Amino acid sequence: MKKIDRFINCYPLSKTLRFSLIPIGKTEDNFNAKMMLEEDEKRAESYEKVKEYIDRYHKSYIESVLSALTLSDLDSYAELYYKSGKSDADKDKLNKAEETLRKQISKALTETEGSTAMFSADIIKKILPEFLTDKEEKAVVAEFDSFYTYFIGFAENRKNMYSKEAKASAIPYRCINDNLPKFLDNAKSFNLIKAMITQDSLNKLNEDFIGLTGTTVECIFELKYFSSVLSQSGIDKYNEVIGGYTCSDGTKVQGLNEHINLYNQQVAKEDKSKHLPLLKPLFKQILSDKDSVSFIPEKFSSDDELLQTVNTFYKCSTADTESAEITIEKIRALFSEFDSYDTNAIYVSNGIAVTEISNAVFGSWNTISDGWNAEYSIAHPLNKNQNLE
């Protein structure tokens, strides 16, 4: 045996061999005559455009179906959701209630007339030609009259959006598992908020938003209103009530959270027990555009303009807010000193903060307070001469 033989087959080695297929003779002539390569390249570009058109149709379809849908059984779900100290049986019931609500949405989306056609060649041959209004876009779609197989995988992907299963990429999941809990949390918080902020603030909110929502702010936080926030247009309106929006002239219409912030700064500054929670905006609907009621400026014309704007924002301070530069520096200083903090001297104020932490960690608003009470009872047992009073 040669010494070199000991190094053979010791380690695997992968190599990529690069070859090119160079047409010659009649093959090259046929390619050039029929412009096959150019056609394939053009079809690849058109394929991306048609996918955008298909998504545009899906968004329109989703909006129309969800805008007309009214869910049932929301009361039973809310009752379970708000129940404190849920047992395993309660959690199972909650999961089943979620499944029932998802099925309602999935059924509405998949059992309408012609809904299955979206996932067949009809989307190319019939639906898009009728849906699109631009002649150039219709011409691009027509290129695929005999090539629907290009879109089979894409169609299957889009079909998954309508599934009743607990999939994060599905529309029913976004409505029920993502947004319904947020909606219920906000409804509970609003009952507290309504009792604390001034009537003038509520009147101002109603004046600013009734033209947008068609109803009062109080009605928006009632359970029956949830069916109105299934669609993206409904979500946008709901989120604008919470966060406000900006008009084209730069005027800022204040949302509910800004009124809450003002209350916390003026009233709850000294008494932390009166601090009000901010409301949570809902997640956007699957496949939705990034549209907003707020005025959005035109896109930047150059990289320099973008960098200049970012730099201005970074250094800009107002009467109400510090600049991003100062804020980031304060955050850096805060986190860099963690090791020097005495964690035994860090406290969470009793009130909304504790219940929110309890709900986020344990799934119940009163788990932490119940634990405190139980520990106190153990540490300070009642004497036989004492009573609960």
- For residues 326 and 35, the model is more confident at 326
**Residue 203 CB coordination number (10 Å):** 12
What tokens does 185 get?
């949390």
pLDDT-wise least confident of 97-106, 168-177, 247-256, 357-366: 357-366
Rg (CA), the chain: 30
Alpha-helical regions (H) of the chain: 25-34, 36-67, 74-82, 88-110, 122, 128-131, 135-142, 152-159, 171-173, 180-196, 199-213, 217-220, 232-243, 256-266, 303-315, 324-336, 352-362, 367-379
pLDDT at 373: 80
Q: Which residues pair with 253 in a beta bridge?
A: 245
What tokens does 121 get?
């060649």
Please tell me whether residue 246 adopts helix, strand or coil conformation: strand
With contact defined as beta carbons under 8 Å apart, do 325 and 278 qualify?
Answer: no
- Confidence grade of residue 388 (pLDDT, cut at 50, 70, 90): very low
Residue-level length of the chain: 389
**Sequence-ordered list of residues with C-beta below 8 angstroms from that of 132, at least 6 positions apart, any chain:** 53, 138, 141
**Residue 198 CB coordination number (10 Å):** 12
The amino acid that residue 346 corresponds to is: I
The angle subtended at Cα 53 by Cα 52 and Cα 57, nearest 5°, is: 115
* pLDDT over threshold 60, residue 123: yes
- Confidence grade of residue 291 (pLDDT, cut at 50, 70, 90): very low
pLDDT-wise least confident of 60-64, 135-139, 338-342: 338-342
- For residues 312 and 107, the model is more confident at 107
CA distance 298 to 133: 25
- Model pLDDT for residues 334-381, shown as the tens digit of each residue: 888 877 888 787 777 776 777 778 877 887 777 887 888 888 788 877
* pLDDT over threshold 90, residue 184: yes
- Confidence grade of residue 389 (pLDDT, cut at 50, 70, 90): very low
Q: How far is CA 73 from CA 96, 111, 285, in A?
A: 11, 20, 21
- Model pLDDT for residues 218-229, shown as the tens digit of each residue: 999 999 999 999
pLDDT at 105: 97
What tokens does 183 get?
């909606």
CA–chain centroid gap for 45, Å, is 30
Please tell me whether residue 386 adopts helix, strand or coil conformation: coil
CA distance 293 to 212: 9
pLDDT at 295: 47
Question: Which residue, 78, 81, 83, 85, is CA-closest to 367?
Answer: 85
Predicted TM-score of the model (pTM): 0.66
